[in-house]
Structure 1
Amino acid sequence: MTSGPLLARSSDSADLVIVGAGIVGLAHAVEAVRRGLSVVVVERDDRAVGASVRNFGHGCFTAQGGQALQYAMAARPAWIRLAKEAGFWLRESGTVVVARAEDERAVLEELRESRGDQVEMLDRDDVEARLPIGADVIGGAWLPQDIRVDPREAVHMIAAWLRAQGVRFRWATTALAIEPGLVRTSRGDVSADHVIVAVGHDVDRHFPGLADEAGVVRCALQMLRVAAPGDRVIDPAVLSGFSLLRYGGFEECPSLPAVKERLAADHPDLVAAGLNLMFTQRPDGDLTIGDTHTYGRTVDPFTFESLDQAILGQIASLLGCGPLTVRERWQGVYASSPDRDFLIEAAGPGVRVVSVTSGVGMTTALGLAQDVLGGLLG
Structure 2
Amino acid sequence: MADLLVVGGGVLGTFHAFHALRRGLSVTLIEKDQYPIQATVRNFGQVVPSGMAGRWFDYGWRSLEWYRFLQEHADITVRPGGTVYIASDAEEQQIIHELKGIMDGRGYPALMLTSADCLERWPSLRSSYCREGLYFPDEVSVAPERMIYRVLDYMVETFPRFTYRPLTTAVDCYPSAEGVTVVTNAGERLTAAKAVVCNGGEFKLLFPQLFAASGIVVSKLQMMRTRPMPDVALRGNILTGLTIRRYESFEECPSFAGLSVPEHLRELKEWGIHVLFKQADDHSIIIGDSHEYAGAMEADDLGFSLKTHVNELMLREAERIVSFDVRNLDRVWAGYYPQHKERDIVEEDLSGVIHIRTAIGGKGMTSAAGYAEESIAKLFA
With normalisation by structure 2, the TM-score equals 0.91
| Cα RMSD (Å) | 1.6
Q: Secondary structure at the match of 1:328?
A: strand
Find the counterpart in structure 1 of residue 169 from structure 2.
Answer: 174
Which of residues 89, 98, 115 is equivalent to 2:103?
Answer: 115
Contact 1:340–1:358 under 8 Å retained in 2: no
Call closer, same or farther: CA 1:252–1:305 in 2, change over 3 Å.
same
Find the counterpart in structure 1 of residue 144 from structure 2.
Answer: 151
Percent sequence identity over matched residues?
Answer: 27
Find the counterpart in structure 2 of residue 27 from structure 1.
Answer: 15
- How many pairs align? 364
Deviates more, 1:45-54 or 1:182-191: 182-191
Unaligned runs of 5+ in 1: 1-12
Q: Secondary structure at the match of 1:270?
A: helix
**What's the offset of the Cα at 1:229?**
5.5
Find the counterpart in structure 1 of residue 205 from structure 2.
Answer: 205
Q: Secondary structure at the match of 1:221?
A: strand
Find the counterpart in structure 1 of residue 191 from structure 2.
Answer: 191
Which of residues 118, 138, 144 is equivalent to 2:131?
Answer: 138
The question of 1:345 aligning with 2:348 is answered yes
The question of 1:87 aligning with 2:75 is answered yes
Letter aligned with residue 347 of structure 1: L
Find the counterpart in structure 1 of residue 323 from structure 2.
Answer: 320
Call closer, same or farther: CA 1:245–1:213 in 2, change over 3 Å.
farther
Contact 2:40–2:148 under 8 Å retained in 1: yes
Segments ≥4 residues shifted beyond 6 Å: none
Which of residues 53, 56, 70 is equivalent to 2:58?
Answer: 70
CA distance in 2 between partners of 1:16 and 1:357 (Å): 21
With normalisation by structure 1, the TM-score equals 0.92
Deviates more, 1:239-248 or 1:151-160: 239-248
CA distance in 2 between partners of 1:292 and 1:172 (Å): 31
CA deviations 1:170-208 (Å, max 9, x no partner) are: 111110101131111113111001101001122233234
- 1:230-249 correspondence to structure 2 within 5 Å: 231-249=231-249
Find the counterpart in structure 1 of residue 280 from structure 2.
Answer: 282
Q: Secondary structure at the match of 2:49?
A: coil
CA deviations 1:29-59 (Å, max 9, x no partner) are: 1101111111111111000110101111100
**What's the offset of the Cα at 1:330?**
0.7
Contact 1:201–1:217 under 8 Å retained in 2: no
Contact 2:215–2:341 under 8 Å retained in 1: yes
Q: Secondary structure at the match of 2:40?
A: coil
Contact 2:340–2:359 under 8 Å retained in 1: no
Q: Secondary structure at the match of 1:371?
A: helix
**What's the offset of the Cα at 1:249?**
0.8
